[in-house]
Amino acid sequence: MDAAAKAFTESLIAEMYARCHESAPNYGVSADAFSSSIFKTIEKRLESVSEQPLTESEIREFLENLQADDLFLALGCAAGNERAWWEFDQTHRSYMERFARHLARGDADPDEVIGNVYIELYGTRVVDGERYSKFSTYSGRGSLRGWLRTIIWHSVVDQHRAGHSEVSLDEMTETIGEGAAHAAFAIPTPDGDSQMIEQVARENYRAATVAALSEAFSALEPHEKLLIALYHVDNLKLREISRLVEDEASPLRGWIKRKSSAREKDPTARIHESTVMRWLEKSYERILDVFKKDLTVRQGLNADELEICIGLASADLAGPDLYRDLAAG
């Protein structure tokens, strides 16, 4: 960050600090601590992700999106300020308890979860002679309550896994069952020449299919991969995905719109479930197109063989073999 950008940032942070300090003068948060925390986040989230110099509008947008009051409270709590802790407890504990109960659903002890979270928030670990508070990891980029939900969720997962060491994160959350159903080709046991020949043929088609799928996947933009994965791997409903992007001010929505030139024509259009469905359909059309072209043009398969590839894969949706091949490849 050059000197001018730094001075610009410092002046905006100073205004934010003045507002926060006026609202909560007893939290014991110094201007230096407040400013240092924000500059650290700017370095991590803005400067390190791109070689392009930061513009004043980017800095302003970043600071306007910052949950300054929440960050101010978190910094006070991280430093062990009693008044800040009192405010935090009064404002958020009941919410945290209800969320923990909602989340635990009889599977974990919500009281124990909240107790553990409080201990983690205060911090019992000492690093370089200083107590390490979980609050020090809060950057103010999202709401404090959203951050707390994430902390509590991980605590519930940890507690659950401690009692069910064999259960994966995915199985615990019952979201996707990764590791349960794999789109792989079962390898039949050879039994005679004809079966051996058939197996060789299957292996060839199998290898061709995996290669074509890899090619199709690599043709996707990251946001397309994310949308498809959220929908088809993590089984989020269209309504849940559209929540991410329905708000006109949603950065993810802006991000997707920026990546998709077709939607530039109407940047203010609302995004409903049907819109997400269309996005997914377009992505799938592109995947299917690349997949077919790879098999027919690059690998020289005919239409019948292409059907065999899809048919073989669809008939053998069992076993972790594809994973093995991908990991090996």
- Residues of span 98-137 touching other proteins by CB under 8 A: 98-99, 102-103, 111, 114-115, 118-119, 122, 137
- Interface pick for other proteins out of 143, 164, 248, 269 (rule CB under 8 A): 143
Q: How far is the CB of 95 from other proteins (least distance, A)?
A: 6
Q: Supply the minimum distance, in Å, between the C-beta of residue 212 and other proteins.
A: 10
| 130-132 and 125-127 strand pairing | antiparallel
Is the distance from CB of 299 to CB of 309 less than 8 angstroms? no
Closest CB to other proteins among 10 and 284? 284
- Of the two residues 98 and 164, which places its CB atom closer to other proteins in the complex? 98
- State which H helix or E strand residue 40 sits in: helix 31-42
Maximum CA extent, the chain:
85
CA–CA distance, 289 with 312 (Å, rounded to integer):
19
To other proteins, the closest distance from the beta carbon of 193 in angstroms equals 30
Specify the residue, 90 or 189, whose C-beta has the smaller distance to other proteins. 90
156's tokens: 């519930």
Structure tokens at 288: 């299917």
Specify whether the CB–CB gap between 308 and 205 falls below 8 A.
Answer: yes
At its nearest, how many Å lie between other proteins and the CB of residue 8? 16
Q: Which residues contact 81 (CB under 8 A, 6 or more apart)?
A: 26, 27, 28, 29
Pick from 163, 192, 222, 300 the residue near other proteins by CB under 8 A. 222
Residue 177, SS3? coil
Stretch 287-306 residues interacting with other proteins (CB under 8 A): 287-288, 291
> Using CB under 8 A, which of 90, 165, 189, 268 touches other proteins?
90
User: According to the binding rule CB under 8 A, does residue 153 interact with other proteins?
Assistant: yes
Work out whether 235 is an interface residue with other proteins (CB under 8 A).
Answer: yes
Told to check if 277 binds other proteins by CB under 8 A, we report yes
Q: Are 221 and 229 in contact (CB under 8 A)?
A: no
CB nearer other proteins, residue 166 or residue 193: 166
The structure tokens listed for 272 are: 């409903």
Residues 155-214 that bind other proteins (CB under 8 A): 169-170, 173, 175-176, 178-179, 181-184, 209-210, 213
Q: Is 322 in the site for other proteins (CB under 8 A)?
A: yes
Q: H/E/C letters for each residue in 249-313?
A: CCHHHHHHHHHCHHHHHCCCCCCCHHHHHHHHHHHHHHHHHHHHHHHHHHCCCCHHHHHHHHHHH
Question: Least separation, in Å, of the C-beta of 191 and other proteins?
Answer: 26
User: Does residue number 308 form part of the binding site for other proteins (CB under 8 A)?
Assistant: no
